[in-house]
Structure 1
Amino acid sequence: MKKWLLLIVLSMLMVALVACSGDGDSTSGDADEATGDDTNETESSGEEKVELAFQVFGSTGYQELIDEYMAENTNVEITLSEGEMNDVLNNLFTSISAGSGSPDIALIEVGQIEKFKQAQDQFYNLNDYGAEDLSGNFLDWKWQQAQSVDGSFQIGFPTDIGPTTMFYRTDVMEAAGLPSDRDELSAEIDTWDAYYDAAKTVMEKTGKVMTDSPQMVFNALRDQQEEQYFNEDDELIAEETVKDAYDFTTKMIEEGLIGQNELWTPEWGTAMAEGSYAVMPGAPGWMVNNVRSNAPDASGLWDVAQIPEGSGNWGGSFLTIPKESEHPEEAYEFISWLTAPEQQLKSFTIAGLFPSTPDVYEDETFLAATDEYFNGAPTAQIFADAAKSVVPVYMGVNYSVVDTEISTALANVAVEGADPEEEWAGAMERVKTQLERQ
């Protein structure tokens, strides 16, 4: 009997050992180790793989920073998509209205932020994730542009701002007998009257226009105004505020001192490369990357000076999280990191996006930065000086409506030889018709 009992116990132990070895699939584990398969690494560590779609426009240079972030946060995969600004923002507004097709993170330009604030219920409130604690990192006026009137809703984190300067071709200036040194040129062309006189000199000596795009001249003058298209009651005031800028621009067009190229067209980019004009007035920091990409062989021929009569601000954007995102916390962590002073400094170095975080302006490394493409110019210092004269401007929900119509009027005068006054009147009539439909 004892022998039988002993045999039964041994048999039970053998069954238990086999069962234990079956619980751990040693064959599968060995195969994974041999092949280096780590597909279950995030699951085994308790972290779920998160995929974020990030939509931008223009030349942000963000891919380099995205790669850095993903290297430090291996459970996050961010896919960047780029496009033309109007297309991207029109598609975004359509998608949030439909509740389908929005990215996890969307870049919105300052000229349209008021429009999207009207649909803030389609975005996550960044204050719910701690944004208020980071507001001190940013310029007050920039932060408030993405905030509700009572401050309870923050739709986006500020990225860059666009203090305006004057890019110029050193070779064209030398050919015209004008200063090619940036400080001397800033002193020579310190008023718009001096700009007009210099334009006549450039045409006489070189046969080239002062600027190739009417929009660049108009925008430069527009952005120096304390009020532009609307007052804070959303009343149209363009006639009182920017009509003089329009008249100055069309006068130069009619005298053959300004070219016909529209912004962002292939012809506009070709003119940069060929040096077929002298200066690009009203150029903000983010424009440096456009010049580099359009004129890769013109390094050292471009330089940066101060704009006549003080800087304005053109552009700048905000990072938002549409409500359609299923990963708002991870998206918030990324955009708060991307817009921190350290990363804004890197964005300036990579793509010329001028920081909206004023602590960077005091950074010695930042102020010492030069750009060899722009003839070794201390671009950080130049843009920082320009930023000091920027005055905040209320833009209004329908800013882009007015801006588009004025740009159309300028193009018609430049390309078709249309009458400037008739074009202005037509533009304002079209604006009023569109505003009445709102």
Structure 2
Amino acid sequence: MMKKWLIVIVFSLVALFLAACSDDGDKASGGKSDGDTVNLDFWVFGSTGYQELVDEYMEENPNVKITINEGEMNDMHNNLFTSISAGSGAPDIAQIEVSQVEKFLQAKDQFHNLNDYGAEDVAENFLDWKWAQAQTVDGEFQIGLPTDIGPTTMFYRIDVIEAAGLPTDREELAAEIDTWEAYYEAAKKVKEETGKYMTDTPQLVYNAIRDQQDLQYFNEDDELIMEDTVKEAYDFTTKMIEEDLIGQNELWTPEWGTAMAEGTYATMPGAPGWMVANVKGNAPDASGNWDIASIPEGAGNWGGSFLTVPKESEYPQEAYDFISWLTAPEQQLRSFEIAGLFPSTPDVYENEEFLATTDEYFNGAPTAQIFAEAAKSVKTVYMGVNYAIVDTEISTALVNVAVDGADPQAEWDAAIERITSQLERQ
């Protein structure tokens, strides 16, 4: 009898051991046992409209439960960086904005390389320049799959443009203002004929020119490069400020919104697709007074993001399967329809229903077609891990020149000094 009990006990222990090994193996590989539910935390910022698509995915994949946590952009990025640094508290999936992606690439050991899960097989779905933004210089590590983009155009007030004697047809206006020098000449005409500004904030002009450049603040060795194209953009903008062709409002302030509603200026250069909602929100009664044309000298990109899988996730394969579905052309088209997120998948640009999208607020402009053409002309640009530091200081300098009448060169020199000091502490 004793021997029988010993045999039972031994077999029980072996069974328990094998089960434990099996569980550990599933966990390490990011897998799951049949019938178990995989819970994925998904951190996002802004108005993505993803909940509808998440619900659809969960209905098709009943073993997967995805919980969206929405937050303000800076807070979410700060919380994510704190979590991956501590090795605790990170989500399974995190949205990262394009200006922040280089910073997180520096901590790529805290993320899963999506190439290990099949990312290279879907790379051709996306615009080349967008795909390159989320990978290491050698292309070996892909930290995220692309979501939306922000190809830039020029919004304009039809009434102000007409009063200045400029063509109001979007194609004719784009042909007349096809260079920044032509933009400057048009600004003088707007001022002379209407007394209004060409645009209300210096940041828009500067950003538009900055985003068209092959190189911006850093080269691929992360060396600061400021004295060529960036300085030219700054000098052009401050010249327009000093000649009273640009207003004094700072982006995102109440005054900026009020000027938009009152039509105190003619154009918004460097405006991406997501700016449509800002204009409608700030100027609800100006429907039909706004239109959209191409920007002088070609489009840049302002905004957009990527979906990443932090290393802490126990289910990287399931997380990847979901984000590859969410960023596929079919779902990017849906995201555009639901929340206006402009697709980074050029296959969508061939869709007839997509191309037929117009906006009556913007005088019936074929918005999808305009932004799609802009997206195709964007250049691949290396932004650098400390992009935000530099951009913030240059923006401060421009505001000081516009609002306080500060000397442009003195403000430039002071900005470079602040930038250099901050970079030395990194």
Q: Is this a same-fold pair by TM over 0.5?
A: yes
Shift in alpha-carbon separation, 1:270–1:89, aligned structure 2, 3 A: farther
The answer (yes or no) to whether the contact 2:151–2:300 under 8 Å persists in 1 is yes
Aligned residue number for residue 249 of structure 2 = 261
Shift in alpha-carbon separation, 1:79–1:414, aligned structure 2, 3 A: farther
Quick one: which amino acid aligns to residue 422 of structure 2?
Q
The answer (yes or no) to whether the contact 2:129–2:379 under 8 Å persists in 1 is no
Partner residue of 1:157 out of 132, 141, 145: 145
SS at match of 2:227: helix
Structure 1 runs of 4+ aligned residues shifted over 6 Å read none
The answer (yes or no) to whether the contact 1:289–1:351 under 8 Å persists in 2 is no
Aligned residue number for residue 98 of structure 1 = 86
Matches within 5 A, 1:192-231: 192-231=180-219
- 1:337-379, CA deviations, whole angstroms, 9 ceiling, x for partnerless residues? 1110111122233333332212222222222222222221111
Matches within 5 A, 1:274-353: 274-353=262-341
Whether 2:396 is the aligned partner of 1:413: answer: no
Whether 2:242 is the aligned partner of 1:242: answer: no
- 1:61-99, CA deviations, whole angstroms, 9 ceiling, x for partnerless residues? 333433433444445444434444333323322222123
Whether 2:96 is the aligned partner of 1:108: answer: yes
Aligned residue number for residue 136 of structure 1 = 124
Shift in alpha-carbon separation, 1:95–1:297, aligned structure 2, 3 A: farther
The answer (yes or no) to whether the contact 2:204–2:268 under 8 Å persists in 1 is yes
Partner residue of 2:108 out of 101, 120, 135: 120
State the alpha-carbon separation in 2 of the partners of residues 267 and 60 from structure 1: 26
Shift in alpha-carbon separation, 1:61–1:198, aligned structure 2, 3 A: farther
Whether 2:55 is the aligned partner of 1:61: answer: no
Aligned residue number for residue 368 of structure 1 = 356
Shift in alpha-carbon separation, 1:273–1:175, aligned structure 2, 3 A: same
State the alpha-carbon separation in 1 of the partners of residues 163 and 277 from structure 2: 26
State the alpha-carbon separation in 1 of the partners of residues 109 and 164 from structure 2: 56
Aligned residue number for residue 393 of structure 1 = 381
Give RMSD over aligned pairs.
2.3
Aligned residue number for residue 430 of structure 1 = 418
State the alpha-carbon separation in 2 of the partners of residues 67 and 178 from structure 1: 49
State the alpha-carbon separation in 1 of the partners of residues 124 and 191 from structure 2: 48
Whether 2:76 is the aligned partner of 1:88: answer: yes
- 1:221-251, CA deviations, whole angstroms, 9 ceiling, x for partnerless residues? 1111111111222221111121011011111
Partner residue of 2:171 out of 180, 183, 192: 183
SS at match of 2:216: coil
Query: Which stretch of structure 1 is more off in the superposition, 128-137 or 60-69?
Result: 60-69
SS at match of 2:89: coil
Quick one: which amino acid aligns to residue 118 of structure 1?
Q
Where structure 1 has 5 or more consecutive residues not aligned to the other structure, the ranges are 1-44
**TM-score, normalised relative to structure 1:** 0.83
The answer (yes or no) to whether the contact 1:360–1:366 under 8 Å persists in 2 is yes
In the TM superposition, what is the alpha-carbon distance from 1:335 to its structure 2 partner? Answer: 1.2
The answer (yes or no) to whether the contact 2:199–2:268 under 8 Å persists in 1 is yes
Aligned residue number for residue 12 of structure 1 = none
State the alpha-carbon separation in 2 of the partners of residues 73 and 211 from structure 1: 49
SS at match of 1:434: helix
Where structure 2 has 5 or more consecutive residues not aligned to the other structure, the ranges are 1-32
State the alpha-carbon separation in 2 of the partners of residues 299 and 102 from structure 1: 43
Aligned residues: 394
SS at match of 1:174: helix
Shift in alpha-carbon separation, 1:49–1:207, aligned structure 2, 3 A: farther
SS at match of 1:373: helix
Quick one: which amino acid aligns to residue 277 of structure 1?
Y
State the alpha-carbon separation in 2 of the partners of residues 222 and 70 from structure 1: 41
Shift in alpha-carbon separation, 1:202–1:87, aligned structure 2, 3 A: farther
The sequence identity of aligned pairs, in percent, is 79
State the alpha-carbon separation in 2 of the partners of residues 47 and 263 from structure 1: 51
Shift in alpha-carbon separation, 1:303–1:349, aligned structure 2, 3 A: farther
In the TM superposition, what is the alpha-carbon distance from 1:135 to its structure 2 partner? Answer: 1.7
State the alpha-carbon separation in 2 of the partners of residues 226 and 151 from structure 1: 19
Quick one: which amino acid aligns to residue 86 of structure 2?
A
Query: Which stretch of structure 1 is more off in the superposition, 67-76 or 120-129?
Result: 67-76
Shift in alpha-carbon separation, 1:259–1:364, aligned structure 2, 3 A: same
The answer (yes or no) to whether the contact 1:260–1:415 under 8 Å persists in 2 is yes
Shift in alpha-carbon separation, 1:235–1:363, aligned structure 2, 3 A: same
Quick one: which amino acid aligns to residue 256 of structure 1?
D
State the alpha-carbon separation in 2 of the partners of residues 52 and 275 from structure 1: 46
SS at match of 1:236: coil
Shift in alpha-carbon separation, 1:52–1:204, aligned structure 2, 3 A: farther
State the alpha-carbon separation in 2 of the partners of residues 351 and 154 from structure 1: 26
State the alpha-carbon separation in 2 of the partners of residues 83 and 176 from structure 1: 43
Quick one: which amino acid aligns to residue 269 of structure 1?
G
In the TM superposition, what is the alpha-carbon distance from 1:128 to its structure 2 partner? Answer: 2.9
The answer (yes or no) to whether the contact 1:168–1:304 under 8 Å persists in 2 is yes
State the alpha-carbon separation in 1 of the partners of residues 392 and 281 from structure 2: 25
The answer (yes or no) to whether the contact 2:199–2:245 under 8 Å persists in 1 is yes
The answer (yes or no) to whether the contact 1:288–1:351 under 8 Å persists in 2 is no
State the alpha-carbon separation in 2 of the partners of residues 142 and 116 from structure 1: 16
Give 1 or 2 for the bigger CA radius of gyration.
1
SS at match of 1:226: coil
Query: Which stretch of structure 1 is more off in the superposition, 342-351 or 66-75?
Result: 66-75
Shift in alpha-carbon separation, 1:337–1:290, aligned structure 2, 3 A: farther
Query: Which stretch of structure 1 is more off in the superposition, 292-301 or 386-395?
Result: 292-301
The answer (yes or no) to whether the contact 1:287–1:352 under 8 Å persists in 2 is no
SS at match of 1:168: strand
State the alpha-carbon separation in 1 of the partners of residues 322 and 254 from structure 2: 34
